[in-house]
Structure 1
Amino acid sequence: MSTWTIAVTEEEREEAALFICKHSAGLGLRYNWCTIMNSLVYCIEDNGLLIGRGQDGGIIGVLAHTVGTLEDGYKDRSRIEVHLLFVEGGRRKGAAVLPAVRLLTRKLLEQPAEVSEIVFFAPATENNRRRFGGSAELTKTTEPPCGRLDFYTVAFDRMLKLDYA
């Protein structure tokens, strides 16, 4: 069982950054390391860093997001971009990510601006398409320098259903 919270203190944010560095090889991201770190800084500045802790109190997962998306220069504040969701390997089974999704949903409900959708990129693989196809809509595939990426959207109404499932 894991407990997810918003990383608000400098210590929590540092702990999360060190966790990401420790797991850099297993993040599954195709971006270069500078891009990942810049993305993390934006998420921290936007108060968009969630951390999951195991029973021993250590970090077992991180969800990083921003209000707005790179696609439109972060102008549309009703769209939320998830930049990173990582849970340690031995803890990914079953509904391990559900507490993170629920916390994100509750956090977004408290925002002054109404949220319309959550968006994210993932490597364009058949495994990912099966993994995300049941809960997210594949809206486009892009070919940045880091390789083929699928762009997914999830209507916020659908997130609300997950929150109360």
Structure 2
Amino acid sequence: MQLRNGGFFAKTGGGLCQMTNLIYWMTLHSPLTVIERWRHSFDVFPDSNRTLPFGSGATCAYNYIDLQIRNDTSAEYQLKVWLEGDFLKGEWRSNLPRIFSYEVYESRHQFRGEPWGGYTRRNEIRRKIFEDDTLVEDQFITENTAWVMYNPLLSE
């Protein structure tokens, strides 16, 4: 699937965002630093069967929208990505043991009716950082806003 100019369609070449979504999600569960991240401007599908928070992905488009990650730690990291049947899998590997664990979640979620007659969807992505089950920090990651491409209202 490719997204372009507020619409989506099947075309060869779509799907690279699945890779950047995975890398971004894994990075949020690591001490690595995201220095550039973009997300889609549109909320294309309702949340039926959603397992990750809205807006917790990343998009890319050659040659101007990137996902960039920096290692500010003293550890070495290696990115491993592979296919297992129909599933994309990945992991960050390190030469040092993990000190922290992470819980990524959304807050301040809302749908907002806009003056132009449509809706936007907004939230914040945050993460809790734990050391030995003790909360060390509750960290703001990003704020998301997207145009909603479906009717978010429940029918009667």
Is the TM-score greater than 0.5? Answer: no
TM-score normalised to structure 2 length: 0.27
Q: If each structure's strand is expressed as a fraction of its own residues, which one has the higher value?
A: 2
Per the normalisation by structure 1, the TM-score is 0.26
Larger fraction in helix: 1
